[in-house]
A = this chain, B = another copy of it.
Amino acid sequence: MHTHLEEDRQLLYQNALDHLKGKGIRLTDTRKAILYYLIGSPNHPSAEMIYRDLLPSFPSMSLATVYNNLKLLVDEGFISELKVSQDSTSRYDFMGNEHPHIVCERCGAIEDFMDSHHPNIHQAIERRTGYQVTRSQLVVYGLCPNCQEALKKA
């Protein structure tokens, strides 16, 4: 559900490139690689993971460049930053539409899932709190199927 099909990936990638070009943002090789990587990754990678995975292709790339670009892509609205309990690093997520995350408290996996009535609550929240709501993040914690199995055996 979060792993985009190859055609989708190309489309989203081209879309993003067009947007960036339109704003006069330069399309460097590293920037394009980071963006492309994020569109294809279902794993909500950290800056470090992205760096490690791209380093073979860009041996001179620095971690700071990864951070710079992550910030830029967050600011441009292409990716979102996700901080979860028991993890001191930020995780990143390419996704236009809002969706909840579910985190395994044992192995640290993060997955997306869909929740139909989740965005609908914004209006109710505005009425109740007086806030002007821009977005919401639902993070669910638990045990993933793999870890449930592993614990049964132990």
* Interface residues in chain A, defined as those with a beta carbon under 8 Å from any beta carbon in chain B: 81, 83-85, 102, 104-105, 111, 113-115, 121-122, 125-126, 128-145, 148
Is B113 within 8 A of A140, CB to CB? no
User: Considering the chains assembled together, what is the distance between the CA atoms of A133 and B126 in angstroms?
Assistant: 27
Most chain B CB within 10 A, of A130, A131, A143, is at A131
Is B130 within 8 A of A141, CB to CB? no
Given contacts A105-B134, A131-B145, 6 further A-B contacts (CB under 8 A): A102-B131, A131-B140, A133-B141, A135-B142, A136-B141, A137-B138
Is A143 within 8 A of B132, CB to CB? yes
Measured CB to CB, the nearest residue on chain B to A114 is B128
Q: Shortest CB–CB separation between residue A78 and chain B, in angstroms?
A: 15
Measured CB to CB, the nearest residue on chain B to A87 is B83
User: Considering the chains assembled together, what is the distance between the CA atoms of A111 and B131 in angstroms?
Assistant: 10
Which residues of the partner chain B approach A136 to less than 8 Å between Cβ atoms?
Answer: 138-141
Which residues of the partner chain B approach A129 to less than 8 Å between Cβ atoms?
Answer: 102, 111, 113, 140
Which residues of the partner chain B approach A126 to less than 8 Å between Cβ atoms?
Answer: 142
Q: Shortest CB–CB separation between residue A129 and chain B, in angstroms?
A: 5
Which residues of the partner chain B approach A130 to less than 8 Å between Cβ atoms?
Answer: 144-145
Q: Shortest CB–CB separation between residue A124 and chain B, in angstroms?
A: 9
Which residues of the partner chain B approach A104 to less than 8 Å between Cβ atoms?
Answer: 131
Which residues of the partner chain B approach A83 to less than 8 Å between Cβ atoms?
Answer: 83-85
